[in-house]
Amino acid sequence: MIEDHPIFLESMRFIRSKISQNNFTELETKVLERLIHTSGDFSIQNLLIFSENACEIGIKAIQNKVPILTDTDMAAAAIKSMAARAGVNQIFSASKWFEQQKDFSKTKTAFGIMRGWMEISKYNYGDKAPIVIFGSSPTALEEFLTSLENTDRKPSLIVGMPVGFIGVEQSKKRLIKSNQNYIVLGSTRGGAAMAGATINALLRSSIQ
């Protein structure tokens, strides 16, 4: 059981009192609440998109102790504490593989995500398939989705929250149209903190 600081609990009560009526499930609402808490922005409610049963699938994967692969060190750092409490000890950032890059036709992050995915998914698939988080790089998300078109091996869940103006919305729309399990923050909004907050909401739900 997680014991929260009184200020956090008060913040969550305030957020719940201000959220407008919606069709989110209880678990989806918990993700929404964490994103609002992280951003201080209630308009997030209109941008959040879930594939069917994405939260349930993500929580089951967490309970199976699947590895988590992120596109930034910031996202990895954001979830490290809650992941440890949930018993998830394998958290990887794309930066782990940067030094292996010889062909610079891809961005460093796209290269790192692809190399990390190939290495980690080789030993973790099916019920152990990794969760993959994008909180920065739309090009890495695009490369990743392209690679999944040619294989039956897929991640348990993709959090698609790259941020910026070039290629960001395109990459998110492509993820939404794919056959992957996803949680997406639409528009140009996103970032490592938002992606991390999403996974932390699932990690927290897996414990409680």
**Domains recognised in the chain with CATH numbers:** 47-207 (3.40.50.10230)
DSSP 145-191: HHHHTT-S---SEEEE---SSSSHHHHHHHHHHSSS-EEEE-TT---
Spatial CA neighbour of 154 closest among 182, 195, 185, 183: 182
- Evaluated on CA atoms 91, 65, 113, 49, the torsion sign reads negative
Predicted pLDDT of residue 4: 79
Q: Which residues pair with 133 in a beta bridge?
A: 70, 159
Predicted pLDDT of residue 1: 58
Spatial distance between the Cα atoms of 86 and 60, rounded to a whole number of angstroms: 12
Predicted pLDDT of residue 104: 85
The model scores a pTM over 0.85: yes
pLDDT along the chain (208 residues), means of 10: 81 92 95 96 96 98 98 97 94 97 91 97 94 98 96 96 97 98 97 98 93
Predicted pLDDT of residue 150: 86
55-56-62-66 Cα dihedral, nearest 10 degrees: -90
